């Protein structure tokens, strides 16, 4: 059932993205490539599964697809980050949950038993990913222009809040993880 849901969500996301790209054909190549990159990112869990032979649960794939729809399609392609100020924070919080989930998968793969270490690893992994994302945004801004980090408008507070809400997402997941480990 969840695989069919994922297929439906992918089709919706790619259809919306295709119409957006068609409407931007008179735009610069950078804008078109930025929006077209969704065709790669939406399939990233499947690519990782295939290349690295890692089991990725379908519920994580569902969360990923929803995240890509909100962050990449609505936020970037449809430009809702400029229209709805809280969308950026919501997507960074979801990214905190996703990266925390991935960190827990890594820990499960290594069979690490120490719950406190695991929680510290989950939170650290999430902060590392959030920081690397901000470095990626900064690099893209520097190379291609733009202001994805809203430095002109907010200074560094947008970047800091992005990392803080990713942290909150990882803490929420860590609480869930802690009680799940204690109850099993």
Which residue do the tokens 């997507």 mark? Answer: 91
Tokens of 109: 């793969």
pLDDT digits (tens, 9 = 90+) for 156-173: 777 888 889 999 999 999
Q: Please state the pTM of the whole predicted model.
A: 0.78
CA–CA dist 136, 177 (Å, integer): 29
pLDDT digits (tens, 9 = 90+) for 16-46: 999 999 998 888 887 888 888 999 999 999 9
Q: Report domain extents, the chain.
A: 1-84, 85-184
CA angle 138, 73, 84 (to 5 degrees): 75
Alpha-carbon 68 to chain mean position: 7
Handedness of CA 109, 114, 117, 123 (dihedral sign): positive
pLDDT digits (tens, 9 = 90+) for 68-77: 999 999 998 8
| pLDDT in the model for residue 172 | 94
CA–CA dist 114, 89 (Å, integer): 31
CA 120 vs CA 48, 56, 88: distances in Å: 25, 22, 25
pLDDT digits (tens, 9 = 90+) for 93-143: 999 999 999 999 888 877 778 899 999 999 999 999 998 988 887 887 778
| pLDDT in the model for residue 31 | 81
Contact yes or no for 170/99 (Cβ under 8 A): yes
- Judged against a pLDDT cut of 70, whether residue 149 lies above it is answered with no
DSSP label of 75? I
Alpha-carbon 130 to chain mean position: 9
């Amino acid at each position: 059932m969840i695989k069919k849901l994922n297929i439906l969500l992918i089709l919706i996301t790619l259809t919306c993205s295709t119409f957006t790209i068609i409407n931007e054909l008179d735009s610069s190549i950078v804008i078109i490539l930025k929006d077209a990159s969704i065709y790669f990112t939406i399939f990233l869990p499947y690519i990782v599964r295939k290349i690295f032979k890692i089991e990725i649960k379908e519920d994580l794939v569902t969360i990923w697809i929803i995240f890509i729809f909100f962050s990449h399609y609505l936020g970037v392609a449809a430009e809702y980050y400029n229209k709805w100020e809280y969308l950026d924070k919501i997507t960074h919080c979801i990214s905190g949950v996703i990266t925390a989930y991935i960190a827990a998968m890594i820990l499960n793969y290594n069979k690490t038993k120490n719950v406190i270490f695991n929680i510290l690893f989950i939170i650290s992994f999430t902060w590392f990913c959030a920081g690397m994302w901000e470095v990626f945004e900064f690099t893209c801004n520097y190379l291609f222009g733009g202001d994805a980090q809203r430095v002109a408008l907010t200074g560094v507070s947008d970047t800091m809040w992005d990392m803080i809400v990713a942290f909150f997402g990882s803490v929420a997941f860590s609480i869930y993880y802690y009680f799940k480990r204690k109850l099993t």
